Amino acid sequence: MKLFAATVLLAGTFMTASAESVDTTAATEAATEAATEAAKSWLALLDAGKYAESWEQAALVNQNSIPKATWESSLAAARNPLGRSLSRVFKSAVYSNSLTGAPAGEYVIIRFVSSFENVPSATETVTPMKQQDGSWKVSGYFVK
């Protein structure tokens, strides 16, 4: 089996939360649910090949740091070799208010076990960030 790994550095590499920043209180459960729904909606755009639209739906920090054309080509390079998405199952979500190399804010690191046409077993990691308007927008994506 071919091992495939691709990273789309949407606003930099910040996928690890420090132990002291992880919050598991009931107050974060609603945030985690909202972030997970945002991640699923955003992944649906990728599955449909709507990379330009995924830029428009991404976190503001990403839009300010990555030109739309670069975003589209990076996602195409990461996703096209995988082939069509066949399945995606939620694996985990971790809420954090501090991620290595990321601006201050609220984040949820979400992992899915996924299957693609050319890669039968992969892990997708999606990191939504809470925006000033209270919405959750994706700020990081990694598939391995």
- pLDDT-above-90 percentage for the chain: 73
pTM passes above 0.75: yes
Domain span at 94: 6-143
The CATH number assigned to the domain holding 93 equals 3.10.450.100
Instruction: Return the minimum-mean-pLDDT range out of 2-16, 34-48, 54-68, 117-131.
Output: 2-16
Helix (H, G, I), strand (E, B) or coil at 19: helix
Q: How confident is the prediction for the chain on average, in pLDDT?
A: 85
Question: Looking at the 3D structure of the chain, how many domains does it have?
Answer: 1
In a domain, 125, yes or no: yes
Beta bridge partners of 130: 136
DSSP-based three-state secondary structure for 21: helix
Could you tell me the pLDDT band of residue 27, with boundaries at 50, 70 and 90? low
Domain membership flag for residue 1:
no
Quick one: pLDDT at residue 11? Answer: 42
Confirm whether 22 is domain-assigned.
Answer: yes
The DSSP bridge partners found for residue 141 are: 8, 126
